[in-house]
Structure 1
Amino acid sequence: MKVGVADTTFARVNMGAIAVDELKRHASVAIERSTVPGFKDLPVACKILIEERGCDIVIALGMPGGQEKDKLCAHEASQGLMLAQLMTNHHIIEVFVHEDEARDERELAWLAERRTREHAVNAVNLVLRPDVLTRMAGTGQRQGFEDVGPARQ
């Protein structure tokens, strides 16, 4: 299995390094990394990782700012990532941490690391151990902040 890690220089945390570290903890996989300037560059980077560098799955990491323009650009990047998935028939795990999700820089760094690590495990499970995800269906998992649990019936 080969996992692609696409990250950006725009992020305020080295999310790519965190993803690589976590992937190495959970599986013996080949890793291809591509760093681009901003999150709108991620869709083509992911497509290249899949089509030209042979990745089975890609983790796309980005950190949109807190301004309205940043949110719009993140939405556009997200749409591009969905299109890249459909064009390649490969999963691209989008891991965006919006700056306004956190109360301060310390929480922002904590959230970026935690969300990145949890999604790196999701990527491994999605390709190598899909039964793990099936067992977690309907359990209210959240990546980053605490899980919310299942709804009471």
Structure 2
Amino acid sequence: MKKIGICDTTFARFDMGGAAIDELKSNVTDLKIIRKTVPGIKDLPVASKKLIEEEDCEIVMALGMPGAMEKDKVCAHEASTGLIRAQLMTNTHILEVFVHEDEEEKEEELKTLMENRARQHAQNLIKMVFKPKILEKEAGMGKRQGKEDIGPL
């Protein structure tokens, strides 16, 4: 049984972790999912690292929603850098799934984007762990998570 870590935040305005878990459970039965929820995106790197080192997760999804202000963008960059460091320190993939609050103007569109991106990255996780050959076939295809694919050149 594969152990998958889901790390999300209370700052997000939609339950992205719940959507990812639902997608995973709907598509794979042989999983143990361990979820950790933290206050904000800068808390995701250490929580993700702990899921790997203390809970023996094979891969982690780190889901969050940076705000729209300039300082939020700086915090998102810091969190992203921390997630990359955690990956390198543990030699384990951490899928960063961020939706910036200013990606959509209307709240309903933002909610849809958050759910779609969480679910589509959960599908990426499934491919990475269980079906890596599918990812090879998708290389260079202009795939996007949360929005329509733009296609290859």
Q: Check whether TM > 0.5.
A: yes
The equivalent position to 2:140 in structure 1, one of 138, 141, 153, is: 138
Identity %: 61
Structure-2 separation of matches of 1:61 and 1:110: 15
Match of 2:3 in 1: 2
Match of 2:98 in 1: 96
Gap runs ≥5 in structure 1: none
Match of 2:72 in 1: 70
Deviations 1:104-150 (A, max 9, x none): 11001000000000000101110111001011001000001100000
**Matched ranges for 1:1-153 at <5 A:** 1-28=2-29, 29-151=31-153
Structure-2 separation of matches of 1:2 and 1:86: 19
Deviations 1:12-56 (A, max 9, x none): 001111111001011121100000000000000000000000100
Deviations 1:34-79 (A, max 9, x none): 0000000000000000000010000000000000000000000000
Structure-1 separation of matches of 2:84 and 2:44: 11
Gap runs ≥5 in structure 2: none
* Number of residue equivalences: 151
Structure-2 separation of matches of 1:2 and 1:26: 15
Structure-2 separation of matches of 1:124 and 1:92: 13
Q: CA deviation at 1:11?
A: 0.2
Q: Secondary structure at the match of 2:147?
A: coil
* Poorly superposed stretches of 4+, deviation over 6 Å: none
